[in-house]
Structure 1
Amino acid sequence: MTPPADSTVHVSSLSRRIYGWSWQAFPIGMGTGAVYVTMSAVKYHSRALTVVETVFFIINIALFLLNMSTLLLQTILYPQQALRLIKDPVKGIFVPLCVLSFATIIIGTINYAVPTGHIRPNFIYILFWVYIAFSLVVCTPMLMIWFNKPHDLTTFTPAWAFLVFPMMLVGVVAFNVLRVVPAEDPRALGVLLVGYVFQGLGFFVTFIYICIYIIRIMTTGFLNGHQANGAFVACGPPGFTALALINLGKCAMEILPQHNLVSPSAGEIWYASSVMAGVLLFGLAAFFFVFGALPYWWKVHKHLSEILGCWALTFPNVGWINTLKVLGDIFNVQGFYVAHLVMTIAICLTWGVLFALTLVAFWRGEIFMADGREVVEGRRRRSGESWRSASTSVVDAEKASVGDVEKRAGGEASGCGSVR
């Protein structure tokens, strides 16, 4: 069948949006979640601040539903495009971010819905196991798909660790759940142990990624252009693990004696060792933040089409920032509280700038907007008709080797790739 002339290709902007949507949209919601998660830890808390946090929580839920519904429509209307995004060696690493976004919603629910009585603790306990299942169902097949093909380490970025991030965040979700599950409840022990198991799994796997990151920058220098944002992802594993270990250790100090487990002093030993490990990991996370921030302005590309990757400036830093407040509580050092407040304000300002620029990029069609001919091709593939145009880049991309795709779009793996 002869393809239609360019002048006859008419596609609605809504169709182009649905076809051009991708999993790279979830960092926007995660960045929004970063705002209220860091705000909730501010030492001197007011009711007005809680109201602001609740507004951000509602925005996060709306963004999550928007992303999930749009990607569902894409799967129904353009199934081959949806499958291509999942199997893509670059964009496929962002699929697990939907689980991370769900984690921020669970934490927000604990902070703002349970105290008001709208949600009961039993439902939070169920959500914890839903999150475990969600992370396993998403991460396991994505790891199999991704590791089934070779990858060029010269294009490595810490964002490749997104495939394991949901399992690493189980510990953070666990200690938040234990805030509403009493220590004497038998279910608390299960949440505690599962939190430790998955936190250890996630951290040690992502730590291997960090080692590869160090080797990469020793070989090629600081991450440049598209990948500069990905340097901040390296803050995530040590930062969140420090936060999780200290808080899980504090929970263990109450839970283990309640159930007469290990020894009478086991809880205190777990807590003390967790604090020491947390301080060590906090130092590593802070180092990676400075290590990524110092060369950032001179290395990053300043184009609206790459604004999505800049959201990596927000959510990976939440772990070590909130650890500041926890360390202030433990050692009674006011400087930790001040540093936490300063970084929380910085996160809020960053969110404001990024959200405004993202709206501008969306309005101009710089992100989440597919070419009309790609949409027509997607419709024809769905209906079983086969035709190709020499100018259709989608067909060419499907025939390109994995190595060529990574070299051409390797920068997108930092989360800052152009989504057109």
Structure 2
Amino acid sequence: MTPTRLMSLAAVTLTACLASPAVVSARDDSRDRSAEQAEGQHSRRLNVQVGPRPYYLVEDMDESPLKRRLQQCSEGPFYKTEFSIGHRGAPLQFPEHTKESYEAAARMGAGILECDVTFTKDRQLVCRHSQCDLHTTTNILAIPALAAKCTQPFQPANPATGRPASAMCCTSDITLAEFKQLCGKMDASNPAATTVAQYLGGTANWRTDLYSTCGTVLTHKESIELFKKLGTKFTPELKAPSVPMPFQGEYTQQQYAQQMIDEYKQARVPASDVWPQSFDLNDVLYWIQHEPRFGKQAVYLDGRYEIPGTLFDPNNPTTWVPNMDALVDSGVKVIAPPIYVLLTLDAQGKIVPSAYAKAARAAGLDIITWSFERAGPLKTGGGFYYQSVAPAIDNDGDMLVALDVLARHVGIIGMFSDWPGTVTYYANCMGL
């Protein structure tokens, strides 16, 4: 065969290969990966802005070496950190679980974002803190056709009998298409309301409705794509169903738990980027057994403190059932109690790690906690989240003292926050 003939044949073969579906597909996949990588690099270069709140809190601290160290970080630079976890986004000021809330959290440097996962009537997964919170977190009651489908329609307050206003609207009451008609709002209601418009108010005076015009509600799949674009990682929480399971007689808890993981697999999200959470230990054990790559980072949200009839005490190991070693033996690697469970006061009244915190670390468990910036003003001790150290809390700046103990002495690996900029500032300043 002549050289000219060989060159001609090679050209024809190359043209055929380039035109073949397999090669075109491979080329397109390569372009998609390149685009994804470029998009990821752009998102990682996001100009993190923590805003004025961290500076206010630092200046509000009592004089101390910690305050002076934090003051020295005032000019940054600030950058995204996985220590800072957007709890429902940034719901201190933005409607929770909305696109706008998540974008605000990412802008404040949250390296991980949370979608609380529940399901609709047609078994589609959506981001909501509770299956039955639509009446306080969305405008569903203002849409008559959808309000009529609520488990419990709006009932006005009755001042004569003292009955408060009420309603109950669940994602399982409506389809996904109907869910997408909703606007997210600040989580609140007015128990004295006699009209729907009044009931949809009630936002706490230390929050704001400034960004609550119409928050964009999201499906779980949409949250995955948004977080990918924002360059963050994922911590979905499988919420306890408010309806009997199996739902509609056939949708089981296990199918629900599997569906959540499947949506990450379908989106080709690496398991190492996902921290699935649940208050139900059985969900965590299911992931450990059936999805071990995801189960490796499954987070057991420890809610044993609120189980009726229990005497849970963070400083009394006999009240922890199962205990830390038993959890580790079952495969659990990450535990996440509320802030107060990890803290106590020493004889001098200083904030120190609780027995629970020490035992979790000794057992080899990683610890995440919640939720920073959720307690409102701390003049009176901080309420639920700081109840174990309330005598040491009398101003907003004290929350940074608690955060410092959690980070440097308890050794938490992440903090959920309703306003991630504060945690980002601390983590960046301390090199976390």
Same topology, TM > 0.5: no
Short-chain TM bin: under 0.3
Between 1 and 2, higher relative CO (CA 8 Å, sep ≥ 6) is seen in 1
TM-score by length of 1: 0.27
Give the number of the structure whose residues are more often strand, by fraction. 2
Determine which structure has more spread, i.e. the larger CA radius of gyration: 2
Give the number of the structure whose residues are more often helix, by fraction. 1
TM-score by length of 2: 0.26
